[in-house]
A and B are shown apart, each in its own frame.
Chain A
Amino acid sequence: MAIDRTDLTRRGFLGMGVAAGIITLTACGSDSDKKSSGGGGGAADLVMTVWGGDTDKTTYQQRIDALVKKFPELKVKLQLIPGDGYAQKVQTMIAGGKGPDIMQVAENVNVYSSKNQIMPLDDLAKKAGLDLEQRFGSIGKIYSYQDKVYAIPDRSGAMIVYYNKGLFDAKGIKPPTADWTWDDALSAFKELTIPGKQWGYGGGGWWAQWWSFVYQNGGKIIDDAGKPAVATDEVIEALQWTGDLVFKHGVVPTPKQFADMGADVGADGAFANGKLAVNTTGFWGISGLAKSKIDWNIAPLWRGKEQAVTAFGSGLAISRTAKNPEAAFKAIEFLTSPEAQQKIIATGEDVPASIEVQKSNAFLKPAWMTKPVDMNVFAESSAFVYRAPFIPAWNEMQKAFDDGLADFWLGKKDARTSLTAIQKRLESIVKPAS
């Protein structure tokens, strides 16, 4: 009898332990109810997650301060998560039932929308009288999934051309323009290259770069039916052109040459060191060049058969678990209004998505800008931003390109072979939206 009892205790104890384990696993789900606040009366405590560094933190906080000043009933707690860990952190927050109310999203927006984790905002926008196309131009509905808008654009800048003015002037070459063709670009790169020392261009190995050329060439990564279409002649030709810049024409450093410039020195760093005549990247290049000794300016991306360029940006979305979606939308509505968006350029953080601000003097001549940089380039580029395929399997698609093009960027395979293989892999990854 006594023995039985001890046995029971032991088993009971283990059982309790297992139960405790399962409870902790599931308990995270119910925890979140605690911090819900009085939803009525429009007052709300909101949690907002964003990624980035110090400048981002300051800028978002300034915008939130302005919001709270105007709408004292809204309380927004900013949570900044360093870029690398953002997706994982938000994923665990949501899975644990403590998802943010407002979250920053970008290319991966449809990871969340396809899995029903963020809300469609069309109705809320209509109720608030917010016209997306009027406020943000062509990118107004860029964060859509199956014809519904899931995030309001917040930051949006096209990829632009940075060119080394000193090198261009020395060779007597006219600065790049939006009317440059691929041939114009190539012949300029050739003239600006000194083998082993200086290169005409930083290269197009990043998706944002070579995809721009694909869309310029009339190709598409994902076709209108939602199927991958990377083994088409248009895509192959564009990729081959990008690759030929490295191995056929030698006007772009090879991966080896980049690796020799130092750990993690890419085109941005090489351009700042004066080793490249041209580089294509986003707005952030400007702050990266603030301390550089070279004389530089910016221009819109050149063209192929058509004009097309990738835009970088992010939007603000409302999570499915938000206790007070109306309040969250009110906050987003204000944060994306010209008044709040001005702070994005005032701190030099990024390009605000608001067209009005992009065209304002505050943007064209920011107080912190010490060089005569042609900021109008951003508004000019906005006109021909192509609609990149933000599919739910975005990360997997990028990995398929990374893997499948590894040998291509080393000059060991041609574009057709690589893309044919990638097309096969993408067909198993990308399921067209039904």
Chain B
Amino acid sequence: MGSHPAVKNAVTSHRQRRLRAGVFVAILTLVLAACGTGGAQDGLSPASERASNIDGLFRLTLIIAIVVFVLVQAAIIYTSFKFRRKKGEEPRPVKQIHGNTKLEIAWTIAPAIILAGLAVPTVQTIFENAEEPVDALEITVTGHQWWWEYEYTDLGVVTANEMHIPVGQDIALTLTADAGDVIHSFWVPRLSGKRDLVPGHENTLTISADEVGLFLGQCAEFCGLSHANMRLRVYAHEPADFDAWVESQLAPATVVEDSEGWELFVNKGCTACHAIDGTEAEGGGLNPGPNLTHFAQRDTFAGALYDSTEENLSAWLANPSELKSMRPDLNRGMPNLGLSDDEIATLVAFLQGLS
């Protein structure tokens, strides 16, 4: 199972604690580690400081909960067997005990003490994770039905669904949604807990990645028809690689303005929704779609749902709602433009040329 490095790290760090805490905790921790899938969206394989804070707190709570669970269930099972009337036995009179005040006080206070103990690290972690990040990369995330828009406010990069970040640096996310949109929730389990994107509000969330890699996430607040298809990816790079990515994003769009593809892109009305920076295509409007300036650099499209292959893109342009449920009639999602096969081929080539 846990071939993922983060899982191994978690297991190792727990091993040290385990020696101190004894055999019981050892077994328990193994069980918990076994629960992680090591998948790219697995909340039990944290890959950032804040996600590790959460994970540690959860595991502590879980260990206490499992101890209480075992004690209570053992009491239920023991009582059930010990005081069970055997088959065929006549009912036996038993003492009519109405209660015991000392016991009541004991089992009122005991859970209260445990909870008070749990409250301390809980409150600590709440405030720790809410701390303002320092030297953070700032990204504004806007949730749309049903895709993600990322604006790197200091760098001037705008992209969609696939977020690129440098490892080891705090990323300060500002989370919001357009006034006409609905609530979404940004969740990349390995990097942080989730936080909602609410129309008219600006929420903040700090994420980071301790290691290079691809981290998956998706919208966690039900946002209508294609909620299940609103996925996202975070690519964490070494700082140098990240800088290179930024540079490639800032490069002018590779568009030949009198090519057949460009003509089609303009004439079919794509520019009404999709922007290509540095051209007359400014996007926006009633139904803003993802910025396509460097579309060909992205691995996926349609809310990170499909790989950007020629085949998938052709099928998408032929009938977008076939691949992903949308409501273009209500300005939510991409309409079917009624393109011919030749037009589709030309446009796919055009899109794949947007490197």
Whether both chains belong to one complex is answered with no
